[in-house]
Amino acid sequence: MKKKDKELYIKFYQEMQRLRSFELKASELFTQAMLAGNIHTYIGQEAVAVGACNALKESDYIVCTHRGHGQCIARGCKPNLMMAELFGKQTGYCKGKGGSMHIADLNRGILGANGIVGAGLAIGTGSGLASKITEKNEVTLVFFGDGASNEGYFHESINMASAWKLPVVYLCENNKYGVSVCIDRVCNVEDIAERAKAYNIPGMIVDGNNVFEIYNAVQKAAEHARQGKGPSLIEAKTYRYHGHYEGDPQVYKSKTEIEKWLNHDAIENIKKEILSKGFASEEELKIIEEKNKAEIEEAVAFAKDSPYPDVREVTDDVYTTDNERGVVR
Amino acid sequence: MRNITYGQAIREAMHEEMIRNSSVFIIGEDMGVMGSVFGLTKGFLEEFGPNRVIDTPISENGFTGMAVGAAMRGLRPIVEIMYIDFTPISLDPIVNQAAKLRYMTGGQVSIPLVIRTPGGAGRRNAGQHSQSLEALFTHFPGLKVIAPGTPYDAKGLLKSAIRDDDPVICVEHKILYAKKGEVPEEEYLIPLGKADVKRSGKDVTIIAYSRQILFALEAAKELKKQGIEAEVIDLRTLVPLDWDTIQQSIKKTHRVVLVQEGVKRNGYMGEIASQIIDELFDYLDAPVKRVAGLNVIPPFSPALEDHIYPNPQDIFKAVMEIVD
């Protein structure tokens, strides 16, 4: 492994811890009935987003999933504008019209999270096609889950990306469950990355709770794409600690399985390594954690203080042109 | 003025816009080497190259979704779905993605996407290649829908659609591809959302679009022989609707016949009828009349197919029923 220097360790720790702080707070707020609708938290999967987004360039693009908070923050979304969106406030990324599942930030190359499982595969592949048509050396990374790998979108998108050598990195976060259904009950392939063979593209399996493994794999796949060699399929094996949604009783998970994964926590693991290598002290890591928590508290305060959208905005932005007539007739 | 076919007019619209703006590209089945199954893009691959004229695998859902992604990135894709009957395969990218992403991102993106797709019966293609499904797309806020009936309108509307920043579904009629009409040499645009009074009259308003506009004009000729002057309105655009033209006409004629090829139940003209009843009831001297396709699946046999959609005689009869 290259670049495993002190700075990178601290950076990865700080970022993963930041995602978790955001999600633990969001979960808490949801339980307190402060947030409407549903939220899907990223707790347990932080290494995937942090490793992947750090391997990309500023000019690259990402497409997120319905479990996308962590992916957005890792790519540079501001926690306060995200929290405002979760609260349905006017100051949120989508002015309160998208909510938790649909955060997008085009200024950061985030083409959006999507409420339709698998849709992001086609959108991201289309972004790759746009880069090819305009001859830009950008890469699009598509986050998707094990569930989406059984959608037609998966097959159609990767097939075309492979046929046309599009600069796309397909990153499957295999957290084992599509809502309640374990992947091994609905798929007769042990590893989703195995499917890469069907498209004649590189397939890689990585420990989704090891941020360096993700980082290196995505760097490799992005470089492959940038050289015009086409897409890759990376499968990151990971686990979501919470339910599909907050409040999900998770009857489908066993205690031993949960314990196994809790003992292989990405943040705890990197923390142990940092301490054993002497890159930082307990106190220094505690300071990082406190800073993250303070930032998230500020984000919550910002969201709470922000106004709700004016009811007149309900008909805004259905169309870019002729909006008024399009809405009335 | 020169006469060209409806198909040629569509071809010219795409060709001119491809030259005008390098962000425009074509993606769909058989669009390149073959030049599309209706021959509309012959020679485009040689002229514009494989990056702008893309032959896809038979993956309507995938390539339509990809076009949405490319549109988010600022390109202007023209997607062809070979038959409108195949659009249900790609409904998610059309109705959940293209239609909604501007709104759901709080206006961060526009989706300048055109989906061209031929509908309509009359070619003995049976139930999965002959439907008129435009009403489906008019249901979804965020989509615009055009349905031209003449070469002139097809060219002018499609050019505007390609320049429009919103997703536009262009419903073509496969029987019309070979029909000729006047189209000027010089460039012109027809704005979206503007109906056209194809014939003026004082006794009754006939509203139609796509192929049925030709039948409505034929019916109007026969009606004239009976001393009835029908005003024929071609909607051209279904969303956004040109309500002003409709209401002006009905306030003059006080009678209206609504014509569509698609099945009657939940057809687009049911919506127009409802708006007319809601807002123009006091101006009406007769019930709002609908002439529409039978609520059946398009059959193969010529002996059956010609009976499922309206013909000029049906429109004539409907008018005679509401004119004193």
Which domain-ending residue is among B152, B182, B212?
Answer: B182
Answer whether residue B267 is part of any domain.
yes
pTM for the full predicted model = 0.97
Nearest to A106 among B109, B166, B192 (CB): B109
Q: Which residue among B129, B139, B173, B254 is the active-site one?
A: B129
User: Cis (ω within 30 of 0) for the bond into B240?
Assistant: yes
Q: Is the pLDDT of residue B237 over 70?
A: yes
Chain B residues closer than 8 Å to A95 by CB: 106-107
The residue among B136, B151, B182 that closes a domain is B182
pLDDT digits (tens, 9 = 90+) for B213-226: 999 999 999 999 99
pLDDT at B184: 98
Q: Which residue among B92, B165, B166 places its CB closest to the CB of A119? A: B92
Nearest by Cα to B272 from B252, B253, B291, B298: B291
Are A27 and A9 in contact, with CB atoms under 8 Å apart? no
ipTM of the complex in this document: 0.96
Q: Say how far residue A269 (Cα) sits from the centre of its chain.
A: 20
| pLDDT reported for residue A175 | 97
What does the pLDDT read at residue B324? 79
The side-by-side arrangement of strands in the sheet containing A203-207 is: A61-63, A140-145, A168-174, A232-237, A203-207
Q: Do B171 and B316 belong to one domain?
A: no
Give the pLDDT band of residue A4 (cuts 50, 70, 90).
low
Residues B53 and B201 occupy one common structural domain: no
The answer to whether the CB of B223 falls within 8 A of the CB of B267 is no
In angstroms, the CA B205 to CA B131 distance is 26
- Residue B172 confidence (pLDDT): 98
Residues B290 and B230 in one domain: yes
pLDDT of residue A329: 87
Residues of B whose CB is below 8 A from A156: 57, 59, 61-63, 65
Reply yes or no on whether the pLDDT at B228 is more than 80.
Answer: yes
Q: Is B15 a catalytic residue?
A: no
* Closest residue in B to A96 (Cα–Cα): B106
Mean pLDDT of B15-36: 98
Q: What is the pLDDT of residues B89-132, one digit of tens each?
A: 999 999 999 999 999 999 999 999 999 999 999 999 999 999 99
Domains observed in chain A: 6-328 (3.40.50.970)
Residues of A in contact with B275 (CB under 8 A): 329
User: Residues B31, B176: one domain?
Assistant: yes
**What digits encode the pLDDT tens for the residues A146-192?**
999 999 999 999 999 999 999 999 999 999 999 999 999 999 999 99
CB-based contact, A130 to chain B, within 8 Å: yes
**Is the confidence at residue A1, as pLDDT, over 60?**
no
CA gap A93, A85 in Å, rounded = 6
Query: Phi and psi (nearest 5°) for B196?
Result: -130, 125
| Final residue belonging to a domain, choices B126, B153, B182 | B182
Of A98, A125, A327, the CB nearest to B69: A125
pLDDT tens-place string over residues B43-102: 999 999 999 999 999 999 999 999 999 999 999 999 999 999 999 999 999 999 999 999
C-alpha distance from B313 to closest chain A C-alpha (Å): 31
Q: Average per-residue pLDDT in chain B? A: 98
Structural domain containing residue B212: 196-322
- The minimum CA-CA distance between B53 and chain A, rounded to whole Å, is 10
Q: What percent of chain A has pLDDT over 90?
A: 98
Label residue A2 by pLDDT band (50, 70, 90). very low
**Mean pLDDT on A12-40:** 97
Residues A240-276 pLDDT 10s: 999 999 999 999 999 999 999 999 999 999 999 999 9
The total domain count for chain B is 2
- Kindly state whether residue B90 falls inside one of the protein's structural domains: yes
Residue of A nearest to B61 (CA): A153
CATH of residue B254: 3.40.50.920
Closest chain A C-alpha to B297 CA, distance in angstroms: 27
pLDDT of residue B253: 98
The string of pLDDT tens digits covering residues A48-89 is 999 999 999 999 999 999 999 999 999 999 999 999 999 999
> Coil, strand, or helix at residue B265?
coil
- Average confidence (pLDDT) over A31-58: 97
CATH code assigned at B83? 3.40.50.970
How does the average pLDDT of chain A come out, rounded? 96
* DSSP string across A11-52: HHHHHHHHHHHHHHHHHHHHHTT-S-S-----TT-HHHHHHH
Q: Looking at the domain assignment, is residue B278 inside a domain?
A: yes
- Distance linking the first and last C-alpha atoms of chain A: 60
**Is the domain of B224 the same as that of B165?**
no
Q: pLDDT at residue A3 above 60?
A: no
Q: Is there a single domain that holds both residue B158 and residue B243?
A: no
- Tell me how far apart the 2 most distant CA atoms of chain A are, in Å: 67
The string of pLDDT tens digits covering residues B168-206 is 999 999 999 999 999 999 999 999 999 999 999 999 999
